[in-house]
Amino acid sequence: MKNPLQQNILNLNFAKNILVVALIGFLAVYGVKQWQKDQKKENNKKVQGEQTNEVQNIYTQQAGFSTKTTAIKQKTSIKIVYKLPQEKGPIWLKLATQKEHPQIYRLIYHPMFEKLEWNKWVKLTNDKYTFLEKTQAYQSIEDFLKNPPVNTHILIDNTVDEEYFLPNNKVSYIDDHEEDNLDEIDYILTTYKPSAEENNFLVYENTIDATYALESEGNLSWQLTMASVSQDNPMQIDSIDVVYNQPKDIIYKMDENK
């Protein structure tokens, strides 16, 4: 397995090279009456930190930010509103985890998927992966991982362990593969999820199990890695929003203790 942050990291002083976007805010919870009013609309309660409130130009290949956390983090939603740099390259999101657990990475953007003819692929998704196959042979991603194919060519991103599929298949990494040459690829497994377009910005949304995220003084540490970004090729961040979805039975107890 490759570390997606090994490539294209500037070899400069940390304080100068990392832009820290402060997202530390107060945790907000509904009162009992508000929760009773809203419970018909949703089964989860949201604990939310503050958003960034102005567009920021990012000139470095790494940008870190932190968010206030809460006890229940199993369904942590993140929303990033951004504009790509003129020269496009892979964009990764990392969430730091406790040392006995693997770091959490998600692929936010890759030029290959912009060129991909999606209508020629059968798509399956779960909270972690997007799985593409040219001819449907699997009903779920779990089935694909449990019963991998034989004598096929599988394209994976740098977070996927190639040992799942070796030695019975050819395995290539997305970052090493020619973007326009997918004719010989049978399957693609990636953490990439397409961003939506909204008001001339791209909107990336995903839900992550942050149960084993590393906490420091009540904060989680996130990092964006943007391979093509430079002083002459900045990326814009309009907002970053992190929400901790809480089970409703836990919320009732929280409200009762107020």
**DSSP string of 16-48, one letter each residue:** HHEEEEE-----B---HHHHHHHTTT-SEEEEE
* pLDDT, mean of residues 138-148: 94
Distance CA 70, CA 120 (A): 42
pLDDT value, residue 181: 78
Helix/strand/coil for 73: coil
Pairing of the two strands 18-22 and 62-68 = parallel
Residue ranges in the chain assigned as alpha helix (H): 14-17, 32-38, 111-115, 141-146, 248-256
158-171 pLDDT, tens per residue? 888 898 899 999 99
For residue 176, the 8-state DSSP code is G
Q: Where are the domains of the chain?
A: 1-25+56-108+194-239, 111-191
Closest alpha carbon to 105 in 81, 129, 79, 83: 129
CATH fit for domain 1-25+56-108+194-239, picks 2.40.50, 2.60.40, 3.40.720, 2.60.120: 2.60.120
Examine the pLDDT at 10 and tell me if it is beyond 50. no
190-246 pLDDT, tens per residue? 999 999 999 999 999 999 999 999 999 999 999 999 999 999 999 999 999 998 888
Examine the pLDDT at 38 and tell me if it is beyond 50. no
pLDDT value, residue 183: 87
If you average pLDDT over every residue of the chain, what do you get? 79
pLDDT value, residue 28: 29
pLDDT value, residue 180: 66
Pairing of the two strands 219-226 and 235-247 = unpaired
pLDDT value, residue 81: 95
Closest alpha carbon to 105 in 186, 160, 185, 47: 160
49-65 pLDDT, tens per residue? 444 557 899 999 999 99
